[in-house]
Structure 1
Amino acid sequence: MGRPLIYDILDRPASTCVIAICSATWLYIQQRNVGYSDVGLSYESVISQGQYWRFITSAFSHISFLHLVFNMSALWSLGVVESFNDYNLGTAYYIQYTTILVLLSGLMVLGMYHVLITRAKLEYYRRVTAVGYSCVVFGWMTILAVRQPSLKLNLFGLLSLPISLAPFESLIFTSIIVPQASFLGHLAGILVGYLIGWGVVQGMTIYWAATLTFWIALGFVWSLSRTTSFQLPYLEVDSVYIYKLVRSFSNFARKQLGVALSLVITFWDIMKLASTFFQKRCSIEISSHARIQTNTRAPRAELA
């Protein structure tokens, strides 16, 4: 007789919460008939339109039930991180660096899109939309590959992979089997995972994780109210006041913290400046493109 599921849930509280959030988000999307282009992460929506809230909605949204099951199954297997308290991992570590993975993998995806658009002149990537939690899944797979190379990863109860090879094996496998899989999104998760596993990005504590989460939540509400018709009752967000808060806090961070963490904390400050810069560069090209194409094609979805 196997171990009761309740014990696994108690051993992996953070993973269980993420699975519950992603499942509830999928149900909400299905009931409200929300399209992937309404919640996904794309260069045009974030850089040109300032919809920074998509960093969060894209990570926790999934296009189909099968997409959700694949990502949540892999996430559940990787939740073993929460039980490794003896290896400086554990639930607290998992929560702290999941926040970093969500944020930095989204930024890295946009950075890759920007290079492809501006350097390689591939305008196609301006409207490619990434949706899904697998950026974070690939990130944790990579962290475990660095921190626990002898571990084996069980996927769906059918496939067992040496964790040291799992990130790039899974990257190639999913790209072949699932044509819509976001190669760049998965690659971004792997690269951020190596940055964390090798200690390039470090120094997170419960205090700083809570502080970062607060600023992400504040930026989420601010950008949502600023760029959509969605309004939260009894809550009014003054963008000028928030920007002043971010500036003052980022100045404090630069003096008190390391470079890597201060860059994370000043995320909204950087994105606001980048949005202003790129919006000026792209506005003429986008408007002329819209006039030429009378029938605009829907953005392509990539499963992240």
Structure 2
Amino acid sequence: MERGRGRWGSVSRGLIPLLGLHTVSEYSRLDRKPPITAALLAANTIIYLRPKFIHPFLPTIDQVWFNPHLILKYTDLKRFFLSPFFHINESHLVYNMLSLLWKGIQLEISMGSAEFASMVATLVAMSQGVTLLLAKSLLLFFDYERPYYNEYSVGFSGVLFAMKVIVNAQSDEYTSVHGLMVPTRYAAWAELVLIQMFVPGVSFLGHLGGILAGLLYLRLKVSYSGLNPVRQFLRSFSHALSLPLRLVKSLFRNRPRITGRGTAGGRIARNTLLTWRCDACTFDNSGRLNVCEMCGTGRTGDAPSSPGPTSEIRDLSLEELRRRRIQRFARS
């Protein structure tokens, strides 16, 4: 998250096209394209660019700044839920989206799109809620009103810090955070301190709230053994959307080839009164016939008569079968 007001809508410096090229390059190398990550990238970018066809429907950044005082005083849920998807300037957007691209691809591929979407929705609410709780606590116990309680901030970085905690939770390796080697599982904490030291105008409380939200999510995921209701809803929704496609596929599903009154290549019918299979050419004939419709060979087994023994029929050559078939259809 970044703090401040009045800097929104800076002149483009060409970073968004580079973000687009990098995203296309990353996705082109993947066998499975994570759709939720792509949707989040597109949503954040479109909100920042504000194209004309959706401009009338989008609130301005002044209407969605995350401000603990205004949220609690007016129960302003719009600020609570929408502020993560707004960014102050192009560099703010691109930096966050590059981070989302890397973390989102890893998490969505590993856990599946439905669970990933559920996780993102949960982290948005949890990171915002923890930040709000921290700001209110600092006001009540330390009288920190101006630095945090009346702070204005926007951006997706709180959710990204939570995702970073989840990505690195099980790692025992070391990683470099702005040139400093730290255990990977503590990389989010190191980044929190370093960004606060060297990057002006960032929201310390928003980033801290994201880290705590990530830790809380991991704890709840371990202790909660029931089904995730958000994930179940998303799975049901995607299942409903796929119904028309599955219906069309079922209409064009491969069926056994029908020839005359029998089938070629199909299974033997359970009811032998309906069909019987020729011993010579394996064609399935109607149960009403005593002579094979394909090669003219007589029916064996429960048939009333047969032109010759089974061994003789099996010794027939392919040319003989074809000749008998031609004679059969010539007589009919």
TM over 0.5: yes
Partner of 2:136: 114
Q: Residues 194 and 77 (structure 1 numbering): CA distance in 2 closer, same or farther, change over 3 Å?
A: same
Deviation string 1:150-202 (CA, Å, 9 cap, x unpaired) is: 496999xx999863232112111211221211111111111111122233674
Percent identity of paired positions between Structure 1 and Structure 2: 25
Q: Amino acid of the residue matched to residue 20 of structure 1?
A: A
Partner of 2:161: 138
Q: RMSD of the TM alignment (CA)?
A: 3.4
Partner of 1:287: none
Query: Equivalent of 1:104, from 126, 129, 137?
Result: 126
Partner of 2:7: none
Partner of 2:42: 20
Q: Residues 72 and 149 (structure 1 numbering): CA distance in 2 closer, same or farther, change over 3 Å?
A: farther
Q: Distance in 1 between matches of 2:101 and 2:214?
A: 17
Give how far 1:9 is off.
8.7
3-state SS in 2 of match to 1:147: coil
Partner of 2:65: 40
Partner of 1:193: 214
**Rg larger for:** 2
The yes-or-no answer on 1:171 pairing with 2:171 is no
Contact 1:97 1:204 in 2 (8 A): no
The normalised TM-score by structure 2 is 0.54
Contact 1:37 1:129 in 2 (8 A): no
Q: Amino acid of the residue matched to residue 165 of structure 1?
A: Y
Contact 2:66 2:154 in 1 (8 A): yes
Give how far 1:127 is off.
1.9
Q: Residues 148 and 81 (structure 1 numbering): CA distance in 2 closer, same or farther, change over 3 Å?
A: farther
Q: Amino acid of the residue matched to residue 11 of structure 1?
A: K
Query: Equivalent of 1:63, from 88, 107, 112?
Result: 88
After alignment, is 201-210 or 117-126 more displaced? 201-210
- The structure where helix makes up a greater share of residues is 1
Q: Residues 183 and 93 (structure 1 numbering): CA distance in 2 closer, same or farther, change over 3 Å?
A: same
Deviation string 1:20-54 (CA, Å, 9 cap, x unpaired) is: 10001111299789764321111122110121121
Partner of 1:270: none
**Larger RCO (alpha carbons 8 Å, 6+ apart):** 1
Q: Amino acid of the residue matched to residue 140 of structure 2?
A: T
Number of residue pairs matched by the alignment: 205
Q: How does 1:147-296 map to 2 (within 5 A)?
A: 147-150=170-173, 163-198=184-219, 199=221, 202=224, 205=227, 207-209=229-231
The yes-or-no answer on 1:81 pairing with 2:107 is yes
Partner of 2:149: 126
* Structure 1: runs of 5+ lacking an equivalent: 213-304
3-state SS in 2 of match to 1:197: helix
Partner of 2:328: none
Q: Distance in 2 between matches of 1:127 and 1:22?
A: 25
Contact 2:165 2:215 in 1 (8 A): yes
Give how far 1:106 is off.
0.5
The normalised TM-score by structure 1 is 0.58
Partner of 1:264: none
Q: Amino acid of the residue matched to residue 198 of structure 2?
A: I
Give how far 1:5 is off.
3.3
3-state SS in 1 of match to 2:76: coil
Q: Residues 201 and 187 (structure 1 numbering): CA distance in 2 closer, same or farther, change over 3 Å?
A: farther
3-state SS in 1 of match to 2:45: helix
Contact 1:134 1:186 in 2 (8 A): yes
Deviation string 1:179-230 (CA, Å, 9 cap, x unpaired) is: 2111111111111111222336745756434659xxxxxxxxxxxxxxxxxx
3-state SS in 2 of match to 1:137: helix
Q: Amino acid of the residue matched to residue 90 of structure 2?
A: F
Give how far 1:6 is off.
2.8
Give how far 1:122 is off.
2.0
Q: Amino acid of the residue matched to residue 119 of structure 1?
A: F
Q: Residues 64 and 34 (structure 1 numbering): CA distance in 2 closer, same or farther, change over 3 Å?
A: farther
Q: Distance in 1 between matches of 2:158 and 2:89?
A: 17
Q: Residues 97 and 203 (structure 1 numbering): CA distance in 2 closer, same or farther, change over 3 Å?
A: farther
Contact 1:9 1:16 in 2 (8 A): no
